[in-house]
């Protein structure tokens, strides 16, 4: 198979978007085009998408060639499993595929020789990554109660702040890093509190669905905030006259006002409620239980509110009541909240904000911006950053980022293929020597592929990538082991310790990406024909 044009297109497209200095892409979405591979994305309704996120680009570009579709599936797998590193992973795969094309066409190597050699290199790389990793040692340290003056907690929190700052530096939020660093840390604290209180064995990364996003068009990005509860959009405040009389007759309460420590009743009239309910609710209200506001919500929003209340009972939400339970002639409260208020945005948009600081399983990031495209990009940026931090906390062990690990791997692989350990993998006869020579050639292609990542990072930052790469190689060949953590500071153009700068990657995530890339390249290498039905 000689048609690798789709690989070239994807590599050229993504290469300029890699790193903190990478450029954005404008993707024009054809509304008449069917969603390929049945991929669900929140961007489907937008006429254009502006982003430098590799996963978003791969989701939304039109890909017809089978090899390109395989790379799309690779990007989706990386995004789902790791949450970050999609661009570098796909670019590494593209370069490896082009190197295998060279080996297959110019040297006539058998695909199995290339695959086995790449597997040897991959296994060795995992050992090197393990040796480079450091354990941050802040498992279960960062929570609301731990954010105190304890030295280890402060040290862990400062390191997380560095990681968040670095992850946001290439995004649209670069001018709002301090504000969104606090938002991200607080949202993760809610996740950790919920995990510890429920004795859940799930990792923080697996529970990321408990962080919700509400996007409101209008205002500045700086108006964004975190709510330790839920924010749900309402079609309009409930207009039933009988219920309104009950709400308004209770101490003259204004439904749009803010209330503290009150019980709020949500009625799902889409499913229906008994006619005599008005009288029962009025009688119940007279019991001085401080029921304030009534809203008509769909069942999906009732479920979300029930999660926010965090009440554990045998009363599932169905039929009519969320916060209250109807049992024969009595209505029992099933939950209590700290704070509830109705928020009115422009153009008569109504949002209900429910806060339950102690028991809420849900936290909501309210995003505001003057453009719908910025809203989407802010959400993607926050999601990427939160994924990185949760994976860091879950795994504990990290390696230096910024292309540092790729440079160290290339140096160590070059030493490995010249070592006795490598030679002992092959038989001593002529056939064994031939296999060893072929394997060395394949691993050299693997090495060149790894060097693509730091080269692109340097080039996209406006520096001479040849000079920068050679400088970093010389440092990594130095006997001083501290230099294995060095890469180019893309702000100054000078080598710097990536741990000190807060540029890190999760060890398990990096190993998972490497495995997925090598497996994908191996699969494509074994394809010799594309058959059209």
The more confidently predicted of residues 530 and 89 is 89
CB atoms within 10 A of CB 6: 18
Which domain-ending residue is among 344, 371, 395?
Answer: 395
Q: Over the stretch 128-149, which tens digit does the pLDDT of each residue have?
A: 999 999 887 765 454 444 444 5
Would you state the pLDDT for residue 308?
54
> Do 18 and 126 sit in the same domain of this protein?
yes
- What is the CB-side half-sphere exposure of residue 439 using CA atoms within 13 A? 23
Calculate mean pLDDT across residues 259-271.
42
In the three-class reduction of DSSP (H, G, I as helix; E, B as strand; rest coil), residue 240 is classed as coil
> Do 119 and 213 sit in the same domain of this protein?
no
> Do 258 and 214 sit in the same domain of this protein?
no
273 pLDDT band (50/70/90 cuts)? Answer: very low
Q: State yes or no: pLDDT of 107 exceeds 60.
A: yes
Task: Report the alpha-carbon distance of residue 446 to residue 503 in Å, rounded.
Answer: 24
* Helix residue ranges per DSSP H, 256-347: 277-285, 299-309
**Is 12 within the bounds of a domain?**
yes
147, 189 Cβ separation under 8 angstroms: yes
Q: State yes or no: pLDDT of 166 exceeds 90.
A: no
**Is 142 within the bounds of a domain?**
no
Q: Over the stretch 403-445, which tens digit does the pLDDT of each residue have?
A: 999 999 999 999 999 999 999 999 888 899 999 999 999 999 9
> Do 177 and 93 sit in the same domain of this protein?
no
| Residue 289, token pair as written in the block | 């239980």
Q: State yes or no: pLDDT of 392 exceeds 60.
A: yes
- Dihedral Cα 94, 453, 89, 497, nearest 10 deg: 170
**Is 140 within the bounds of a domain?**
no
Cα–Cα distance list, 347 to 215, 216, 236, 297 (Å): 15, 11, 12, 20
Task: Report the alpha-carbon distance of residue 345 to residue 218 in Å, rounded.
Answer: 9
69 pLDDT band (50/70/90 cuts)? Answer: very high
407, 465 Cβ separation under 8 angstroms: no
Instruction: Say how many domains are in the chain.
Output: 3
**Is 442 within the bounds of a domain?**
yes
- Full domain range(s) for residue 65: 5-134+399-525
| Residue 298, token pair as written in the block | 């769909």
Averaged pLDDT of the chain: 77
Least confident of 17-21, 263-267, 381-385, 408-412: 263-267
> Do 59 and 111 sit in the same domain of this protein?
yes
> Do 381 and 498 sit in the same domain of this protein?
no
- Dihedral Cα 138, 142, 148, 153, nearest 10 deg: 10
For 440-505, the DSSP string reads: HHHHHHHHHHHHHHHHHHHHHTTS-HHHHHHHHHHHHHSS-GGGGGEEEETTTTEEEEHHHHT-EE
Q: Where residue 449 sits, what CATH number does that domain have?
A: 1.10.560.10
> Do 343 and 435 sit in the same domain of this protein?
no
Q: Can you say whether the dihedral through the CA atoms of 287, 293, 297, 302 is positive or negative?
A: negative
How far from chain centre, in Å, is Cα 180? 15
299 pLDDT band (50/70/90 cuts)? Answer: very low
Q: Over the stretch 213-257, which tens digit does the pLDDT of each residue have?
A: 999 888 899 999 998 888 877 765 543 333 333 233 333 333 344
Task: Report the alpha-carbon distance of residue 166 to residue 332 in Å, rounded.
Answer: 49
> Do 475 and 515 sit in the same domain of this protein?
yes
The answer for residues whose C-beta is within 8 angstroms of residue 436's C-beta and 6 or more apart is 422, 423, 425, 426
**Is 319 within the bounds of a domain?**
yes
Specify the DSSP class assigned to residue 334.
-
The answer for residues whose C-beta is within 8 angstroms of residue 25's C-beta and 6 or more apart is 13, 17, 50, 51, 52, 57
| Residue 357, token pair as written in the block | 């600081």
312 pLDDT band (50/70/90 cuts)? Answer: very low
Q: State yes or no: pLDDT of 88 exceeds 90.
A: yes
Q: What is the pTM of this model?
A: 0.77
**Is 141 within the bounds of a domain?**
no
Q: Over the stretch 328-364, which tens digit does the pLDDT of each residue have?
A: 444 444 445 566 666 766 666 777 777 766 666 788 9
**Is 533 within the bounds of a domain?**
no
Q: Over the stretch 496-517, which tens digit does the pLDDT of each residue have?
A: 999 888 888 889 889 999 999 9
> Do 90 and 15 sit in the same domain of this protein?
yes
Helix count and strand count (H, E) for the chain? 17, 18
């Amino acid at each position: 198979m000689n048609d690798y044009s789709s690989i070239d297109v994807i590599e050229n497209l993504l290469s300029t978007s890699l790193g903190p200095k990478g450029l954005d892409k404008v993707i024009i979405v054809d509304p008449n085009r069917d969603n390929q591979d049945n991929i669900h994305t929140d961007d489907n309704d937008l006429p254009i998408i502006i982003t430098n996120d590799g996963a978003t680009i791969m989701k939304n570009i039109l890909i017809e060639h089978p090899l390109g579709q395989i790379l799309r599936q690779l990007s989706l797998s990386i995004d789902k499993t790791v949450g970050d590193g999609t661009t570098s992973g796909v670019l590494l795969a593209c370069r490896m595929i082009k190197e295998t094309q060279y080996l297959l066409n110019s040297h006539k190597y058998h695909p199995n020789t290339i695959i086995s050699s790449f597997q040897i290199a991959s296994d060795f790389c995992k050992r090197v990554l393990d040796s480079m990793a450091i354990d941050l040692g802040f498992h279960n340290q960062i929570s609301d109660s731990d954010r105190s003056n304890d030295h280890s907690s402060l040290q862990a929190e400062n390191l997380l702040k560095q990681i968040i700052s670095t992850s946001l530096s290439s995004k649209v939020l670069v001018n709002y890093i301090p504000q969104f660093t606090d938002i991200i840390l607080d949202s993760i604290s809610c996740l950790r509190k919920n995990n510890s209180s429920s004795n859940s064995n799930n990792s923080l990364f697996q529970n990321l669905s408990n962080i919700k996003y509400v996007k409101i068009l209008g205002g500045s990005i700086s108006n964004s905030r975190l709510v330790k509860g839920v924010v749900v959009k309402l079609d309009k405040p409930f207009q039933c006259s009988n219920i309104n009389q009950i709400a308004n007759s209770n101490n003259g309460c204004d439904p749009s006002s803010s209330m503290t420590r009150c019980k709020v009743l949500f009625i799902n009239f889409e499913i229906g409620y008994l006619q005599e309910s008005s009288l029962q609710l009025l009688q119940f209200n007279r019991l001085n239980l401080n029921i304030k506001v009534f809203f008509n919500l769909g069942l999906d929003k009732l479920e979300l509110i029930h999660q926010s209340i965090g009440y554990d009972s045998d009363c599932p939400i169905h039929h009519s009541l969320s916060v209250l339970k109807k049992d024969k002639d009595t209505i029992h409260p099933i939950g209590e909240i700290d704070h509830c208020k109705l928020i009115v945005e422009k153009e008569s948009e109504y949002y209900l904000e429910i806060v339950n600081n102690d028991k809420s399983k849900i936290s909501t990031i309210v995003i505001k911006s003057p453009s719908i495209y910025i809203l989407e990009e802010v959400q993607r940026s926050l999601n990427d950053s939160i994924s990185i931090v949760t994976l860091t906390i879950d795994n504990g062990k990290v390696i230096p980022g910024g292309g540092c690990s790729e440079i160290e791997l290339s140096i160590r692989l070059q030493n490995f293929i010249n070592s006795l350990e490598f030679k002992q993998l092959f038989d001593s006869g002529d056939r064994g020597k031939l296999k060893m020579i072929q394997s060395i050639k394949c691993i050299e292609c693997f090495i060149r592929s790894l060097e693509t990542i730091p080269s692109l990072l340097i080039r996209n930052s406006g520096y001479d990538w040849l000079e920068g790469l050679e400088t970093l190689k010389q440092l990594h060949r130095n006997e001083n082991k501290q230099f294995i953590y060095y890469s180019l500071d893309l702000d100054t153009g000078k080598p710097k310790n990536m741990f000190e700068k807060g540029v890190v990657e999760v060890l398990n995530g990096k190993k998972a990406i490497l495995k997925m890339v090598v497996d994908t390249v191996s699969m494509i290498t074994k394809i010799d024909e594309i058959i059209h039905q």
